[in-house]
Amino acid sequence: MSRDDTRQALAEYALRLGDNSLILGQRLSEWCSHAPQLEEDVALINIALDLVGQARALLSYAGELEGRGRGEDELAFLRDVREWRNLLLVEQPNGDFARTIARQLLFDCYAFELYRALSDSTDSQLAAIAAKSLKEVSYHRRHSVEWTLRLGDGTDESHRRMQAAIDDLWPYTGELFEADAVDAALIAAGIAPDPAELRAAWQASVSQVLARATLAQPESMGLLSGGRSGLHSEHLGHLLAEMQWLQRAYPGLQW
């Protein structure tokens, strides 16, 4: 594989990671002023801001590698739904608080393993972004684990809602560990980890948390996927409409 091919694969990879962070950050920010508690409101928005910060670094890097003159703003605000590369899991609606926490738990445990592995990437820029993100994600995971324990092992109602959320979101978890030609190229170059290797660690930590939270782990691994090829659920378009309308209506507007 030529150097240029690797560069383009890395551009695509950075775009995928950046899209995951931005879409999840945008989703979480919908809780602003709506969370069950003032304290939790701030906690969720802190996490959302961490994710948007990660997205900025990753999308800037993706644009730079791509070499078509697109910066973080063009990538964030001027792409249509089919051009987005995020996982289906992160675009799923917030639902009730349990559902938001379940989505965070499944993603945070994944992001933790991913960024830990990427901290050793042979690509120094990606390794630096990962090392910074790992500290943030470690806290995100702690937050979602603590809430999962309390909701799962809480009241009858919180247990029921938390179990329903895990059951509903589980089918989206298979997509986290899919590997395609982009992954293969970067694994070979020592730039990215093999998703299959992340899976065991993710599975171990999620299983342990679910067990402690008295929650049942769904039987089969879900296989809903398509996010990386731009085949999204109907929810993403609505999210993008809200996120992008200002730049679409007033192109180049600054504040």
Partner 1 sequence: MTDSNWPLYEVFVRSRNGLSHKHVGSLHAADDEMALEAARDLYTRRSEGVSLWVVPSAAITASQSADRDPFFEPAQDKIYRHPTFYELPDEVKHM
Where do contacts with partner 1 occur on this chain (CB under 8 A)? Answer: 36-43, 46, 139, 142-143, 146, 150
Both tokens assigned to 1: 């594989």
CB 89 within 8 A of CB 206: no
Among residues 126 and 151, whose Cβ is nearest to partner 1?
151
Residues 6+ away with beta carbon under 8 Å from 96: 161, 165
Among residues 109 and 186, whose Cβ is nearest to partner 1?
109
Among residues 138 and 244, whose Cβ is nearest to partner 1?
138
CA dist list (Å): 44 to 2, 150, 192 = 43, 17, 29
Among residues 34 and 82, whose Cβ is nearest to partner 1?
34
Minimum gap (Å) between residue 47 Cβ and partner 1: 9
Query: H helices within the chain, ranges in order?
Result: 3-29, 38-66, 72-77, 88-91, 97-118, 124-152, 156-169, 181-188, 195-212, 235-249
| Cβ atoms within 10 Å of 111's Cβ, excluding its own | 30
Minimum gap (Å) between residue 109 Cβ and partner 1: 17
Half-sphere exposure of 250 (CA within 13 A, CB side): 4
Among residues 142 and 248, whose Cβ is nearest to partner 1?
142
CB 210 within 8 A of CB 29: no
Among residues 42 and 196, whose Cβ is nearest to partner 1?
42
Minimum gap (Å) between residue 245 Cβ and partner 1: 28
CA dist list (Å): 166 to 30, 65, 91, 171, 251 = 20, 37, 15, 9, 40
Minimum gap (Å) between residue 60 Cβ and partner 1: 23
Using the structure block, give the residue that is written with the tokens 């694994």.
187
Minimum gap (Å) between residue 52 Cβ and partner 1: 14
Minimum gap (Å) between residue 55 Cβ and partner 1: 19
